[in-house]
Chains A and B, each alone.
Chain A
Amino acid sequence: MTTFHEPRFVGARVARVEDPRFLTGQGRYVSNQVVAGMRHARFVRSPFAHARIVSVDTSAVPSGVAVFTGEDWASYAIECTSRYEGFQSAAMPVLAVGKVRYVGEPVAMVVADDPYEAEDAAELILIDYDPLEPVTSIEQALSEGAPLIHEHWTSNLYVPRAYTSPDYDEKVREATRTVSGRFVNSRHSGVPMEGRAVLAEVVDGEIVVRTATQIPHLIRTAIANALGISENSVRVISPDVGGGFGVKAQAYPEEVACALAARSLGAPVKWIEDRREHFLASHHSRQHVHDATLHFDDEGRIRALTAAVYVDMGAYSVFPWTSTMDTGMAMGILPGPYRFTGYKVNGFPTCTNKTPYGAYRGVSRPAACFTIERLVDWMARDRGIDRLEARRRNLVRKDDYPWTNAGGLVYDGGSLEESIDVMREWIGYDDLVQRLAEERRRGRLVGLGMAIFTEQSAHTTEEFKKRGVPIVFGYETATLRLDSTGNLTIATSIHNHGQGLETTLAQFAGEVLGIPLERIKVVFGDTNQVAYGAGTFASRSAVLAGGAARLAATDLREKLARVAAHLLEVSEADLVFHEEGVSVVGSPESTISMAELCRIIYQRPDLLPEGVTPTLEATRTYDAPPGTGTYTNAFHVGTVEVDEHTGVVNITGYWVVEDCGVMINPLVVEGQIHGGVAQGIGSALFEEMVYDEDGQLLTTTFMDYLLPTALDVPHIATRHLETPSPNTIGGIKGMGEGGAIAPAAVIAGAVEDALSEIGPVWISEVPLTPERVLRYIRQAKENR
């Protein structure tokens, strides 16, 4: 007989348990769900960016098709007001009332028996608009005498923000040189392959809303608040979701509208967003303009950073983030992984006649990384030092941790310098740089770029308190239940929509009990089945739900140990938990299977020790103290070749050295990095919501708004370092967003390098579409 050991599931590269249902076409997406008597909704959307609604004529709509307009639901809205003093609030109507504020805003809703009929009927509604001057840029919005988008406001600024470090003036004086620029990131968004989808019905007096969301409980709160009803009369179910990336981390008017329509018609109402609607009305993100100056000394040591952060937040404040999230986050993380302290920053979250602005993987960090990394590249050029060396000189060092960055964020630990050393050696950096320089001299436009960053993850109470959001996202909860056959159910308040959490949470919590993956079920996404919690965003789920699940597993283990020790007549300290059950150390013949142990606890109370209750359920919450987040770090390097005549950028190599603490499942970690990098490549080269001066969105199909394909994304090579977080359970860190943070900075640096033989150029705008690249090539020639 073999001796049993406690198994180690954490760190195992195991395939995901959730895959078979997707591989066989059994995904439980909202669009796949059918209920009896289901009717179909279609929204009529504003064709104007800014206009008064003069009249809505629904008389041509055939009988049998229900119609709702703004007036019907004027008393309902989605409101999200910041706690920041002076915040100008902008409640989002369910259907526009009196005025429209962006192209795509829902104005009316029809409900028919068939989706084709609903589309036909929507065409028959005639709306008369009186167009107003649209506000389509940050400059225009903030200029003197600009039209007010919300008449009760005093300007188009949601709320001004500012921060200056106490040593700012002194540090600026210590500097001898500066580089400056205006850094522009385009408006774009997560664009998941599944659009939004809602199916609402009333069942036994409860409004059941199935919706493709990352944040089921918060959507329940938003709907209950909007309708002015109790939360326990609303049930939100978010089954399988075909990608979120932040787009599905906001409450939307369509969710409230479907709930209202189902209630008023007494019939289930389904709405499936089409791709054009997705571009028009699913929340956008990423659009930042930073005016920034880096102050440094002759040796290339950074002393201070001055920045103004402008974010084009669109027409309404979004729930649950408010319209200050991006600005605040950028202000905190702009200093990046560097150890300077002088910092002055102003923030301008601006209201415009554009689609509201929400989250997208990385929230502000891609823009912040772009700005600071471009500045550091320029500092290196100014000082004539290697870009890698310029970074190394300024990074937070191993013995600095915990390090409070110039923006007030507390970095818990990492391996910044090491990641640079590992990369240098791994890709043969010095040779590679030399080779590229030779190729350039022979006339090929090839270059290398790099970016290093820290990714704030799993931030909780302290961070969100600071951000002024009305709901402070502090914790997540997990309930673990063992059944009488020894199988484990983990019910958790986070959501899984591709991150692999059905597998990784099971690995992380199952390890405590020795229960293998195939005997664990993870339940999520139903407000009637899981405890209140915020959901999945901000690279938090593995840390918070994982931590909670592990704590609850430990509670269960204690109870199991007590009963097993009693039954096997040994002391609890002598027990081993493993895949076969519970054994006495060194005597494998003294083993009780998990199934037998659980069966006895539920069904043979007569055999239990004194005072042990016949239950096997534990609930724990976890908020990852100190609540300021745990910091993953990564260093990305990429190489490109630019076509001088077409301006097309081809990425020829991409390498990532990443440290996300202890990895639960390296296979899943790599998948997250690849996916993030691909999205970052979209930001770097392709993706841009283009508006004309009337506020019309011109990019509403995949022919106009390009997503990276398998020919655009290269093979992405990854290496891991593992610096356990000193703060979190198991030393793990969040990492879901990281891949998307660096690519824009990397590719811009690589293209700038590629053009260097033509002439000096300073790239400060992405995406690097062929048109922009050709413009930079012209500039390089002029600067020669």
Chain B
Amino acid sequence: MKEVAAESRTEITLTVNGVAHTVQVSPRRLLADVLRDDIGLKGTNLGCEHGYCGACTVLVDGETVRSCLTLAVAVDGADITTVEGLSGSDELNDLQRAFQEAHALQCGFCTPGFLITATELLDSTEGPLTEQQIREAIAGNICRCTGYVHIVEAIRRVSEARAG
């Protein structure tokens, strides 16, 4: 029997939801696994691990990134937002509240990814958004439960409210 060689590890620092974390990681370790298993933030779900479903989407320096396709060492020093960081306190933020009120989630597994994608959309595009704009923006996230109707509705409501 042969021993598996101990993998070399690198120290990286990530600021996640405003808190700095220093972790030792092997070069092949995925950002998703660092967030979930090393830092212990389990809110980011994995639906495919091949970059297609969008469940694992997080914000890295303000932009959406698929954490299942990102090596943790590649984002050393970055500022990351996960679903746990969307609302500061125990309260839901306006987007999360709209998701609840519009019934935009069922099993909830895709939800963190949609919330992050919608956060980027709402922060980066002037509203109110059209249905088509919303649909295009969320087309990289798959939801198997809702048929998207209520997700589109929730995002539309927030975009209208924010546009005043």
Report A's interface with B, CB cutoff 8 A: 15-16, 19-27, 29, 31-32, 59-63, 116-117, 120-121, 190-195, 240-245, 274-275, 497-500, 667-668, 670-671, 673-679, 701-703, 707, 709-711, 713, 715-716, 739
Contacts and interface: CB of A to CB of B under 8 A. Distances in A.
Given A23-B100, A242-B108, A703-B52, A62 B43 contact: no
Interface string B18-42: 0000000010110000001000011
Given A24-B96, A498-B107, A707-B142, A716 B53 contact: no
Contacts of B83: 23-25
Interface core residue of A16, A23, A29, A275 (most chain B CB under 10 Å): A23
Given A192-B109, A702-B48, A16 B149 contact: no
The list of the 3 closest CB pairs from A to B, nearest first, reads A25-B43, A22-B108, A242-B109
B143 A24 contact: no
B36 to A, nearest CB: 8
B111 interface: yes
Contacts of A701: 48, 50, 52
Question: Interface size for chain B: under 10, 10 to 19, 20 to 34, or 35 or more residues?
Answer: 35 or more
A59 B1 CA distance: 6
B151 A27 contact: no
Given A192-B109, A710-B139, A713-B149, 15 more contacts: A20-B92, A20-B100, A22-B107, A27-B45, A62-B3, A192-B144, A193-B142, A275-B47, A670-B150, A675-B146, A679-B147, A702-B52, A703-B52, A707-B144, A713-B147
Nearest to B152: A710
Given A191-B144, A241-B107, A62 B87 contact: no
Nearest to A17: B100
B142 A709 contact: yes
Nearest to A682: B144
Interface of B: 1-4, 26, 28-29, 36, 41-50, 52-53, 55, 82-84, 86-87, 92, 96, 99-101, 103, 105-112, 115, 131, 134-136, 138-152
The main secondary structure of chain B at its interface with chain A is: loop
Contacts of B42: 25, 27, 29, 31-32
A498 B2 contact: no
B103 A27 contact: no
A703 B1 CA distance: 38
A70 B149 CA distance: 47
A106 B139 CA distance: 34
Contact of B84 (A22, A25, A713): A25
Nearest to A124: B2
A713 B145 CA distance: 12
Given A63-B3, A701-B48, A240 B151 contact: no
Nearest to A709: B139
Contact of A243 (B28, B145, B148): B145
B103 A29 contact: no
A193 B53 CA distance: 8
B87 A194 contact: no
Nearest to B43: A25
Interface core residue of A274, A497, A709, A715 (most chain B CB under 10 Å): A709
B130 to A, nearest CB: 12
Contact of B99 (A19, A275, A715): A19
